[in-house]
Structure formats: C-alpha cells, structure tokens
C-alpha cells in the first residue's frame, strides 16, 4: 500500500476492486474487446475513477492477474456485473464462465446455487431485464 492509498475514499477503493474483477473477467479470454472496455469505463464512472486509472489497472492485471473480493458491495451487484461483462461480447468463453463460478463461490454463494444463479442472471439480461428487475427475480439465490 502506498501513502496515496491512505487518501482514497472507501467508495473508490470498492470501485477499484470491482473494476479489477470485471477487468479480469474481460481479459479471461486473452483480449479486451472495445465493448468490454466501454462497459468498464461506465462502471469506473459510477465510482469516479478516471479512464487513466482504468488503463493503469489493465496494465496491472495483464502483469499480475487475479481478482479480489470487495467489501461494501452486495454479492448480487458483484455477480451481476461479472455476468454482464462475461456476456458483453455475445460470446461466453469457458474461462469466463469458470472464473465467474469461482468468484461466486469465493464471495459466499452456496455451491449448489452458483450454476442456477449465473444461468438466471444470463437469462434475465438476455431478455432485457435491468439490474433491479433481475435482482428481484433471483434474490432468493443470494443472501447478502
């Protein structure tokens, strides 16, 4: 941790952690598509994170890899965005799916509910449901 990290708000730290996970998902197939990058910028904007920070994060992940479990967000929010990133290029790569399942388990989604949760989110996104609609429909699968 650098001295500058002490002055970053908890919300921004949460955002960077979330972006790290999304970026790792986006790069799981070995490339970062423009649609994936645009989605990352949209999420970064939600947390007041600059595009320069997103680019630095991309370089860091390319070099070090990995993802982290963030504090302060709901499990559902994290999984929803990861699934959305996995789907954004209209091609669910097996590495992306595996990573999403592993992440869901790491944040405490019951092992016997992971597949159903991810499949339900995919179906809801596919038919045009937004975050809130999807959350309402699959809340029984995730306890925050």
pLDDT digits (tens, 9 = 90+) for 52-79: 999 988 888 777 665 565 544 577 888 8
Residue 127 has pLDDT above 70, yes or no: yes
pTM of the entire structure?
0.69
C-alpha angle 120/117/131, rounded to 5°?
A: 65
User: Taking residues 24-37, what's their average pLDDT?
Assistant: 84
Q: What is the dihedral of CA 24, 89, 136, 44, to 10 degrees?
A: 50
Q: At what angle do helices 131-138 and 111-126 cross, to 10 degrees?
A: 140
Within 8 A by CB and 6+ apart from 15, the residues are 43, 44, 46, 47, 48, 49
pLDDT the model gives residue 83: 92
């Amino acid at each position: 941790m650098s001295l500058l990290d002490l002055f970053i708000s908890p919300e921004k730290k949460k955002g960077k952690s979330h972006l790290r996970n999304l970026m790792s998902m986006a790069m799981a197939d070995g490339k970062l598509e423009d649609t994936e990058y645009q989605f990352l910028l949209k999420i970064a904007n939600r947390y007041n994170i600059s595009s320069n920070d997103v680019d630095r994060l991309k370089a860091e992940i390319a070099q070090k890899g990995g993802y982290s479990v963030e504090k302060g967000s709901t499990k559902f929010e994290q999984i929803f965005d990861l699934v959305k990133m996995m789907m954004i290029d209209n091609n669910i790569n097996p590495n992306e799916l595996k990573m999403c399942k592993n992440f869901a388990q790491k944040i405490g989604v019951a092992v016997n509910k992971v597949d159903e949760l991810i499949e339900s989110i995919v179906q809801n996104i596919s038919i045009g449901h937004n975050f809130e609609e999807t959350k309402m429909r699959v809340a029984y699968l995730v306890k925050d």
